[in-house]
Amino acid sequence: MYHKKSLLQYFQMEQNSKSNRLHALDGLRGIAILMVFLSHINATYIDRSSLWGSYIFNSGVLGVSFLFILSGFLMAYLYPQPKSGFAFIQKRYTRIFPLFLTLCSTIFALRFIPENHWYFSLGILIIFAIIAHLIWVHGIQRFVKNKFTKILFFAFITFQIVVGIYYLWVMHHPAVYYYQQMPLTTRFLTDWFVNATLTLPIGKYVTPLDPVYWSLAAEVLFYLLYPFICAPIIAYMSPKKRISKIILLVCLLPLFVGLAILAQHVLNLSLLRFQLFYYFVTGMTLGYLYRKYPNALLKIGKVFTGKMSYLTIVLFFGCILFAQLLETAFAGQIIWVQAFLALPFTFLLAIALINKTALAELFRSKILVFIGTISYSIYLSHMFILDLAIDITRQPHSALTTTLYILATLAITISISSILYFLLEKPYFIRKQIEKKVKLASYVQNPYVPMMVGGIGLGFLIVTFMVYQSNINFFTLNEPYKNIITSSAGENQLISLQQHSAVTMLLTAKYNNFGVLSLNLIHKTIPKKKFIQQRIEFRIKEKGADQWLSTSRYTISSKSETLPVSYGFPLIPNSIGKTYVVSLKQEVASSSEYVLLDAKDNTIKGVFFVDKKMLIKDPQKLFAFIENKLTTVIDNPEAQEVVQLSLPFILFTLYLLITNKHLFVNKKYHL
């Protein structure tokens, strides 16, 4: 029946059939996905350093921020208190993973076919999507009973856990050395398993198959936390005074900033950008308020009546410009800036929910609602299509060709995404019941929430201690080095591997069991140059030796890729007092990517693994070891900053614990 109507007409008809659907949210999602799409356009003519170039083509993170706010809002609005946490997560997985696994499998399969044309790659994508549709829709969903779908869900969760454990195991043998020595096929399979299960943040050695997958990992983590942590906290805070809710909201801002700083030192958790989790928080806050005070937004709407209504459009696009200026002016405090912007961005969403404003009318336009409806398909497929377009066009070089290039790639992306939506997204919405606002007269409180929140605060402090006492694990010792660069670049604090054929370091081991060197390598890109992969070679040998102990290579396979901090090699048991030569160099002279070595004092560190048996046998050495660990953390300025950022939240948890005795387990509080 649908073939008689255009896709656009069909989507508009579908939207109108769901009276409960907030159309403006789809439009905002459409704007957000366009911001993400434009930020990944790669054209020589585009100058992202200019104000308007940055405004149009460098707002991808801002677009993702809007998507996070929308997720938080919809969860708190539609699922204020899930009856079953596992059923809630199963729904979210059913929504996300069929399409995601299809894209992962397509990109993975094309790795084994290095020479292929663009139409071949698109054909593989469509074939994989059709196969996934047949398996999922006409196989599992149609013939498998509900209890078996639950078994499949738990099987996939188990698979995620197993892959996560495997990835952590790889990291500790030691990671860099072991992973680089894997057979190519084993490495490719490891890459697929880690990407497909979204366990990328627990390691630094597997490259994302697509650079946008970081945000999907963050989204899935939010879904995992929502029914077990977020929803109970919302229910517990519901009867509290307004000032208590505001204080909690304020305390969470520095906590997420501290978590983002802390994550830079834990595995690859910085990939999740924890400062952006504050957008989930503000979105949930708005969702809660929209349920409890649905008429409160009308008061905001009274300000924007008549011609003032058009001011809402100016506010929206002006806020994006303000965010760009703020990030440029305070580039050194980007984590704080990104977290703070959650507040004005959430206010913009509140304005969009007011039906009579010009901004809401803009977001309810057919084209934006259409793009917003297929936004998930666009998000997962646009980089795949843009990479193919670069191979075909070799990058446009003028205003006209760049404009045509953007329009053509956008049209192709929307077309492919529409097909993916009908094959792998639409069946989910057909089978599940239409989401309705849950009619809850009350939130049921859990009296153990204060203890849970207190546990979060205590856990934060414990993790802070564990992170700043070692780069690898607790039973290691770090030795910072100064003035160890022996090549001609030795006096520079930031050494470009592009300018020097090789950077050589000479360092002496202070302990035995030398196994890792900690380096800060900064990835840079040559402006307006087509992306060409770069390879970094790391070598180490004992001074005076003819042969290198270890040689490892690290590939920069995307513009957004960050290099690992820890560079491992086979453990050297009797290293104490010996001097070692370390060499770093770039191997691809024609690459668009290059690397800077941060050679400032104490930035380069040797990591030595402690003999646990020795510590147990010698109490004096054990005491000295623990004292060294405590002193390392206490004297670390960044550790002090992270603890200070968490103090407001910890003090608030103490308040919740003190006042918890006045609550009753079975008491309900009306909205």
Angle separating helix axes 23-39 and 60-78, nearest 10 degrees: 150
Q: What is the dihedral of CA 253, 337, 319, 24, to 10 degrees?
A: -50
Angle separating helix axes 85-111 and 213-225, nearest 10 degrees: 160
Q: Which helix (H) or strand (E) holds 572?
A: strand 566-572
Residue with tokens 């990992």: 217
DSSP state, 487? Answer: S
Given a contact cutoff of 8 angstroms between Cβ atoms, the answer to whether 338 and 61 are in contact is yes
pLDDT at 3: 44
Residue among 624, 644, 623, 281 at smallest CA distance from 461: 644
- For residue 555, the cross-strand partners are 535
pLDDT at 387: 84
Residue with tokens 């698109």: 122
Given a contact cutoff of 8 angstroms between Cβ atoms, the answer to whether 317 and 109 are in contact is no
Residue with tokens 């995404």: 417
User: Which residues, given as ranges, of the chain have pLDDT below 50?
Assistant: 1-20, 433-437, 663-671
Distance CA 437, CA 301 (A): 22
- For residue 585, the cross-strand partners are 537
Distances (CA, A) of 346 to 66, 294, 349, 352: 8, 16, 5, 10
Distance CA 623, CA 186 (A): 43
pLDDT at 328: 83
Given a contact cutoff of 8 angstroms between Cβ atoms, the answer to whether 311 and 304 are in contact is yes
Structure tokens belonging to residue 115: 């020479």
pLDDT at 568: 83
Structure tokens belonging to residue 659: 């006042």
Given a contact cutoff of 8 angstroms between Cβ atoms, the answer to whether 170 and 203 are in contact is yes
Phi then psi for 380, rounded to 5 degrees?
A: -80, -25
Distances (CA, A) of 194 to 101, 248, 461, 545, 562: 12, 35, 29, 38, 17
Structure tokens belonging to residue 407: 């329009």
The CA-based angle 103-536-267, given to 5 degrees, is: 60
- C-alpha neighbours within 13 Å on the C-beta side of residue 528: 9
Which conformational region is residue 558 in: left (phi greater than 0), alpha (psi within -120 to 50 degrees), or beta?
A: beta
What is the helix, strand, coil percentage profile of the chain, to 5? 60, 10, 25
Q: Which residues of 234-247 are buried (b: 16+ CB within 10 A; e: fewer)?
A: bbbbbbeeeeebeb
